[in-house]
């Protein structure tokens, strides 16, 4: 898939910076724009048929999310992520999500539990790894929304965007286990068992982190061979 082919799949006002950011973010997730690839703004604007000003605003938004870097004369590039960065980001995700689950737990309704069960059914049938990623984010964030901690949720979302760009590559190796862990998290919620839920959530996030790190090590070793 090319950038031009991706654009019609993303809804929104083509002239708006948020639309351009959504397209570029999706392109990074799908590997259309590769890590450390230089983003020449004039060429990119011409390819997308957009104006340079909203494009630059979009790139600035992606810089805030950690997906793009501005490097002086080189301009913007798709940012890279080291193994150490990935480990630390997942440590932060784990601390934040376990913490907010403690606050949210007693406020989770039966209706939300039913919605989460339907979502997991859809996830387990979804073949597109980026769409699976979106459902995964929704599964987690929906459980935390009753806590009413918007800044915490925003921080978690920003951290996840940095590591989720790799999900298309390492999902296959961890998908079945991850989906089983999602079911265990929800089972703990249904049983009104906080300790079970927190244990399942932390284990799930730690295992996902380990799988991502294993994938990144494999890539690094392959490059150095």
What CATH number does the domain located at 83-223 have?
1.20.120.530
Q: Where are the domains of the chain?
A: 3-78, 83-223
The arrangement of strands across the sheet holding 68-70 comes to 38-39, 76-78, 68-70
The average confidence (pLDDT) of the chain is 91
CATH number for the 3-78 domain, one of 1.10.10.10, 1.10.3860.10, 3.40.50.10420, 1.10.4100.10? 1.10.10.10
Q: pLDDT class for 219, splitting at 50, 70, 90?
A: low
Cα-flanking dihedrals φ and ψ of residue 38, to 5°?
-75, 135
Question: 138-180: per-residue pLDDT in tens?
Answer: 999 999 999 999 999 999 999 998 888 887 777 777 889 999 9
Distance of CA 47 to the CA centre of its chain: 26
How many CB atoms are closer than 10 A to CB 146?
16
Question: 177-218: per-residue pLDDT in tens?
Answer: 999 999 999 999 999 999 999 999 999 999 999 988 888 887
- 39 SS3 class: strand
Q: Is the pTM of this model over 0.85?
A: no
- Asked if 3-78 and 83-223 have one fold, the answer is no
Q: Compute the distance between CA of residue 195 and CA of residue 159 in angstroms, rounded to an integer.
A: 25
User: Token pair for residue 52?
Assistant: 């340079």
């Amino acid at each position: 898939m090319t950038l031009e082919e991706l654009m019609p799949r993303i809804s929104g006002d083509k002239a708006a910076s948020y639309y351009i950011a959504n397209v570029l973010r999706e392109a990074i997730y799908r590997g259309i724009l590769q890590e450390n690839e230089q983003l020449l703004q004039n060429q990119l604007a011409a390819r997308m048929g957009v104006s340079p000003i909203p494009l630059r605003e979009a790139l600035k938004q992606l810089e805030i999310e950690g997906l793009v870097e501005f490097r002086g004369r080189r301009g913007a590039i798709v940012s890279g992520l080291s193994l150490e960065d990935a480990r630390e980001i997942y440590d932060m995700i784990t601390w934040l999500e376990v913490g907010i689950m403690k606050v949210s737990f007693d406020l989770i309704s039966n209706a939300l539990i039913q919605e989460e069960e339907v979502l997991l059914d859809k996830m387990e049938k979804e073949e597109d790894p980026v769409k699976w990623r979106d459902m995964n984010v929704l599964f987690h964030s929906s459980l935390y929304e009753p806590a009413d901690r918007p800044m915490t949720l925003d921080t978690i979302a920003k951290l996840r965007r940095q590591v989720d760009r790799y999900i298309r590559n390492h999902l296959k190796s961890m998908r079945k286990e991850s989906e089983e862990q999602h079911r265990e998290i929800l089972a703990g919620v249904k049983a009104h068992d906080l300790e079970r839920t927190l244990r399942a959530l932390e284990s799930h996030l730690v295992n996902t982190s380990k799988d991502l790190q294993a994938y990144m090590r494999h890539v690094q070793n392959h490059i150095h061979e």
